[in-house]
Amino acid sequence: MEFPTIGIVSMGDMGHAVGRTLREGGYNILAALEGRSDRTCALAQHAGVENVGSLTAMVQQADLILSIMPPAAATGFAQSVAAEMQSTASTPLFVDCNAIAPATTRTISEIIGDAGADFVDGGIIGAPPGRRTPTRLYVSGPGADRLQELVRPDFLIRSIGNEIGAASGIKMFYAALTKGTMTLDTLVLLGARQMGLSAPLLEEFSASQPEALARMERSVPWLAADAERWVGEMEEIAKTFSDIGLTDRMHQGAAEVFRLLATTDLASETRESADRSRRLDEAVEAFAVRLSASRPDAQDQKT
């Protein structure tokens, strides 16, 4: 193994599952859990990951660091790792696996490169390892092929060349469709509810768009739990389109939908605590309650 010891930050839904499958593949997996939440620590423990406490200890011990976190935190984390690399003279390979725009990835590449370490651009597509379909980690940049040793039955590595930004681009365009569709679904359902048209619209969907309705029923009731971290992802997608001369408005709008959902009562749930019996109409009603409370005319009435 070129990378017998791998540090992963952070130990969320995706990170701990990646850590689990790599540990089962014979790697020593490290987490820096100093100051982290009880949930994060519990997920790391469930995955059998070793807690080394500080980021300093992780940088000193790891041969490879995988950054897996909400996109808004990616650059700041890279800066922290770069500072630790410079202070400890340790330079593990750094792989950014986050949902960020290619331009953001190139900035992070420069930060890590200035610290004397190698960098690989990564983008994770799919559910966490261990589900029905294997997770895909797309990688690009000089040395991306080195990560092929990490392949597991439920965790595939797909190298797509030497260009920093290519793997991030694949992730951006994929999520532009999948999560963008979720926000459009939510917007349509919420709009129909606001006009009192939910029942006839759902009846029409059931007759003529059964697959779309099934998709809505599978995803919309639980979107609020992930909405806050997906705001930043939509903003990164908007930046990606803007940087290549295409409109950013669709995904700025998607960010607005997730921003609304993140303020609802349902946003306090986690994937473990989410009410899986919740119906589609119940979720839309919760969204509508928050929308009504946030409208300027509602504020005027209160005053």
At 296, the pLDDT band (50, 70, 90 cuts) reads: low
CA gap 174, 172 in Å, rounded: 6
Q: Which of 143, 164, 185 is the last residue of a domain?
A: 164
Q: Looking at residue 243, which CATH number applies to its domain?
A: 1.10.1040.10
At 300, the pLDDT band (50, 70, 90 cuts) reads: very low
Q: What is the mean pLDDT of residues 232-245?
A: 98
- Residue 271, SS3? coil
- Residue 4, SS3? coil
pLDDT tens profile 9-45: 999 999 999 999 999 999 999 999 999 999 999 999 9
Sign of CA dihedral 114, 229, 249, 161: positive
Residue 299 pLDDT > 50: no
Same domain, 17 and 148: yes
At 272, the pLDDT band (50, 70, 90 cuts) reads: confident
Q: Is 44 left (phi over 0), alpha (psi -120 to 50) or beta?
A: alpha
The pLDDT assigned to 261 comes to: 97
Q: pTM (2 decimals)? A: 0.93
The pLDDT assigned to 289 comes to: 95
Same domain, 124 and 11: yes
Same domain, 176 and 159: no
Same domain, 129 and 245: no
The pLDDT assigned to 297 comes to: 60
In terms of C-beta density within 10 A (0-12 exposed, 13-18 middle, 19 or more buried), how is residue 165 classed?
buried
The pLDDT assigned to 303 comes to: 40
pLDDT tens profile 76-101: 999 999 999 999 999 999 999 999 99
pLDDT tens profile 101-150: 999 999 999 999 999 999 999 999 999 999 889 999 999 999 999 999 99
Same domain, 129 and 254: no
Same domain, 15 and 69: yes
Q: Which domain holds residue 64?
A: 5-164
| Residue for token pair 């797309």 | 138
